[in-house]
Amino acid sequence: MKLLLVEDDMALARALVEALEQAGVLADHTGSGAEADFLVSTEPYDAVVLDLGLPDGDGVGWLARWREQGINLPVLVLTARGRWSDKAAGFSAGADDYLTKPFETGELLFRLRALVRRAHGHAHPVLKVGDLALDTHTGTVTRAGRPITLTAQEYRLFAYLLHAMPRIVSRTELSEHVYARDQQPDSNVIDVQISRLRRKLGAEVIETLRGQGYRVVSTGDGA
């Protein structure tokens, strides 16, 4: 998962970015509504965490602008404004979820993972293919109940492919969604990491379609 954190409290933003990265989530940060407006228009984020009290305009206004422009990625409002009228304004502008400060980082993660799952059409927190299971709440992967140890990058790759299943995911899309903006790899690096995933998960789980990309297939059905 790669998200954009729009928060002008720098101390809170630093702590959140660190906590998110420890949980395997890539997070870009900005404290400006204008920069956030540029980024959501040019970067393929999986979700946005949006503060309302920004120095260059209310977050509700920026969110309404994005929805009018057809930017439909999930947005979780994170703010100290806890009145019902503020929540109503946020949801009316197009928010998908609303969390008030102070908050538990664990709850924020649960809500974000649920938003991203549902955006891909998955309601259950455990994504399965054959006897493989990925628990989006705990970040664990098992096969027939036995745990499989993945690196953070391998987990992000597999999780993104599994969320997208059965759609084919291009190398470009994988690079944009599971690598930081300053660390986007060439196709050879992705190929190597996919090969490592196959060794751990089973060669049949991830299918390569020449010139198109990769997709997760039901175990036993891949090529």
Q: What is the mean pLDDT of residues 9-25?
A: 92
C-alpha span between 199 and 123 (Å, rounded) = 29
C-alpha span between 99 and 26 (Å, rounded) = 20
| pLDDT band of 219, cuts 50, 70, 90 | low
CA count, 13 A, side-chain hemisphere, 201: 34
Q: Taking 70 as the threshold, does the pLDDT of residue 58 lie above it?
A: yes
Antiparallel, parallel or unpaired: β 26-30 and 2-6? parallel
| pLDDT band of 34, cuts 50, 70, 90 | very high
Enumerate the domain spans of the chain: 2-119, 126-216
C-alpha span between 89 and 95 (Å, rounded) = 9
Q: What is the mean pLDDT of residues 198-219?
A: 90
100-155: per-residue pLDDT in tens?
999 999 999 999 999 999 999 999 999 999 999 999 988 899 999 999 999 989 99
Residue 116's pLDDT is 94
The CATH fold of domain 2-119: Rossmann fold (3.40.50)
The CATH fold of domain 126-216: Arc Repressor Mutant, subunit A (1.10.10)
CB contact at 8 A, 59 and 36: no
Q: Which of 87, 85, 94 is nearest to 115 (CA)?
A: 94
Q: Which of 109, 105, 93, 102 is nearest to 47 (CA)?
A: 109
Q: What is the mean pLDDT of residues 170-196?
A: 84
Residue 220's pLDDT is 46
146-181: per-residue pLDDT in tens?
999 999 899 999 999 999 998 999 998 998 888 887
Residue 222's pLDDT is 39
Least-confidence region, from 9-18, 102-111, 175-184, 190-199: 175-184
Residue 187's pLDDT is 63
* Residue 8 token pair: 């002008």
Residue 184's pLDDT is 65
C-alpha span between 195 and 121 (Å, rounded) = 27
- CA 103 to the chain's CA centroid: 20
- Across all residues in the chain, what is the average pLDDT? 91
Least-confidence region, from 30-34, 55-59, 107-111, 173-177: 173-177
C-alpha span between 162 and 166 (Å, rounded) = 8
- Tell me the backbone φ, ψ of residue 215, rounded to 5 degrees: -155, 150
61-105: per-residue pLDDT in tens?
999 999 999 999 999 999 999 899 999 999 999 999 999 999 999
The end-to-end CA distance of the chain, in Å, is 27
Q: Taking 80 as the threshold, does the pLDDT of residue 36 lie above it?
A: yes
